[in-house]
Amino acid sequence: MRDKTQANSAAPGDGLVRAGAIVFFIGAVATLVTVAPLFLGTEPFPTYMFGLSMLMAVGFLMAGAGVLRSVAAGRRQARAGR
C-alpha cells in the first residue's frame, strides 16, 4: 500500500535542507567575492569575508543533517508499517 502523505507535503528535514542550501549559496557568493581580488589584482577584502566563506561548509552540514533526519523519519515510518 502506498504512503498516504501528499506529494507536496514537507517531510522531516526538508526545512534544514532548504536552509542549508541558502546558507551554502551565501557562502559560495562570499567565496567568489573573496577570491576575486586575487585575479583582479586589487586590494584583498577584510578578514571577515574569509569567515563568511566558511558558510559553505555550514550550509553543507545543515543540508546533510536534514537528509539524515529525513532518512531517520523514513526508517521509523517503515518500521511502524510492518
Region 40-65 average pLDDT:
89
pLDDT attached to residue 76: 87
Q: How far apart are CA 42 and CA 56, in angstroms?
A: 24
State the Cα torsion 12-17-20-25 to the nearest 10°. -160
> Between 25 and 47, whose confidence is greater?
25
Q: Which three cell numbers stand for residue 36?
A: 576575486
pLDDT tens-digit map of 25-45: 999 999 998 888 888 888 888
pLDDT attached to residue 5: 57
H helical segments located in 1-82: 14-40, 47-53, 55-81
Question: Cell 543540508 identifies what position?
Answer: 63
